[in-house]
């Protein structure tokens, strides 16, 4: 079970983050800084913290709200943000 969850999580996160604005920021910072390992370390540390917060919040919300509802709310918020970005409101 652990292996399935790990592979599913890794695959989903890897594909979702591939060519994301985070990578563009990382490329820009490492091209200007001359310290690619420091940029990598800072990126990994920041992403670990963000992931820790989201996993913690997800596990807390999962105790009180059905996971399907969390999924639909997250999808709705994602679509709303996309629409607002399309119309330059964000």
Q: What integer pLDDT is reported at residue 90 of this predicted model? A: 63
> In the chain, what percentage of residues exceed pLDDT 70?
99
Tokens of 85: 């970005």
Task: Round to whole Å and give the CA distance between 55 and 19.
Answer: 22
Domain count, the chain: 1
Which DSSP state fits 1?
Answer: -
Distance of CA 31 to the CA centre of its chain: 23
State the residue for tokens 């992403």: 47
Report pTM: 0.67
Range of the domain at 30: 2-86
If DSSP states are collapsed to H, E and C, what string results for 10-76? HHHHHHHHCCCHHHHHHHHHHHHHCCHHHHHHHHHHHHHHHHHHHHHHHHHHHHHCCHHHHHHHHHH
């Amino acid at each position: 079970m652990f292996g399935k969850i790990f592979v599913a999580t890794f695959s989903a996160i890897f594909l979702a983050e591939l060519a994301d604005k985070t990578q563009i920021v990382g490329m820009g910072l490492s091209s200007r800084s001359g310290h690619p390992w420091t940029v990598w370390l800072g990126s990994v540390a920041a992403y670990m913290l963000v992931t820790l917060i989201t996993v913690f919040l997800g596990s807390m919300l999962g105790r009180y709200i059905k996971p399907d509802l969390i999924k639909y709310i997250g999808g709705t918020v994602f679509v709303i943000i996309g629409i607002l970005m399309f119309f330059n409101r964000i």
